[in-house]
Structure 1
């Protein structure tokens, strides 16, 4: 079996990546730099948690590569209206994102797929991110939606990288907007992540066929009230700021 080395925490690399990410929210590579720099032993701990669940050993034995599964057009096309899978299909159509594209971006060193249980679980954590956008209602094409979801993800996984991004985005929002609506949405994401069932233990192939609202109820995923309020109040302001930041970043490149 391939040796798996737990990465050491590198706060300097994480801080540099966070500055780049906050300057350009589309620079997704920086997210994975932060994850690798700060999440440390989160993957082994989460894998052990999976193995302690009733269904975890079966999922680990099958070791499905979700990026491959979610990139199968026939699989994506087969979901009934109103299901989690149908909402995910609409998400892909709206955003233009793909599971394979995210997997490619995350491969910082361009290495072949590592055949190790911990590495598999790390890929699984990456591959369910967009499903969590669908389940939680946090949009993927805006800074606040991503910030709220990373706070949710920190509550679910304990990975410090998620907390680092969420806190950085919340602090920046207070400077940009002069208020706390954005930060409250991020805090709500964390609280909702704490209250929800542990989503990493789910069988995602089965979950995709569940009615979306029923799945949210079963998984105890609450309505993102503070997020929607902040979205309505700050949407145009944050979008204008993000556009200005991107233009500045492009001019300096």
Structure 2
């Protein structure tokens, strides 16, 4: 099909002109940011620093992969900013009970979170986050669905839940930034009597087994019944994570976002 040929051409000849979106790896910066994150699990900015240092190539590959899906070309052409939709309270309130969106609505309001707040953290100290470039748009889309992945996977926002979701995200995206944070989390989890490392590893395996979530139409997904969505997407239960007492989960590994 023409879409495949176009995608190959785009991969071989990236657009010229104003483009601050880098696909180069910066392991030194990523490692320094990881140390800061390990020292202060609430320093969410370091997560984005790690992503910018290591995830550029995976973001580019993910965008090309999106173009090759059944509806990815349409979504890429429309290039909607999903954060805007997630900040629309009327739309969130319209989503049916029992749906992915209803669970997300309850989650963010209980945790006092917002898509806009996460976006603001991602913009700290950089100028390329809102770049009008396909790779930058895809990176924003990946950022904006993070809390929806919490809902789909069943991982809470405690430190272990974030670490498991990081491992899941690495399996889904191939982004080395996710892998580095998962490694840091696992290194901190050693020595506990609970199977925290096994829980993180299970997060990775669940991500590998699931359907590629970045290819989903999220406006449609948000209205889908949660359990039906999990079944359709091949997302299995987080059995090892669920076996660890809630009071243990928040102190063993760094929080990712």
TM-score (norm 2): 0.87
Residue 12 of structure 1: which of 14, 24, 28 is its match? 28
Instruction: Give RMSD over aligned pairs.
Output: 1.9
8 Å CA contact 1:170–1:183 kept in 2: the answer is yes
List aligned pairs for 1:1-253, cutoff 5 A. 2-111=18-127, 113-140=130-157, 142-175=158-191, 177=192, 179=193, 181-230=195-244, 232=245, 235-239=246-250
Deviations 1:150-189 (A, max 9, x none): 10000000000001101111110114x2x46111110000
Per the TM alignment, residue 61 of structure 1 is displaced from its structure 2 partner at its CA by 1.1
Deviations 1:79-118 (A, max 9, x none): 1100000000011112111000000000133537211111
Mapped to 2, the partners of 1:100 and 1:119 lie a distance apart of: 16
8 Å CA contact 2:161–2:249 kept in 1: the answer is no
8 Å CA contact 1:4–1:118 kept in 2: the answer is no
In structure 2, the residue matched to 1:249 is none
Mapped to 2, the partners of 1:51 and 1:180 lie a distance apart of: 42
Deviations 1:109-135 (A, max 9, x none): 353721111110010000011100000
8 Å CA contact 1:4–1:119 kept in 2: the answer is no
5+ long unaligned stretches in structure 2 = 1-16
TM-score (norm 1): 0.89
5+ long unaligned stretches in structure 1 = 247-253
Segments of 4+ moved more than 4 angstroms: none
Mapped to 1, the partners of 2:249 and 2:213 lie a distance apart of: 30
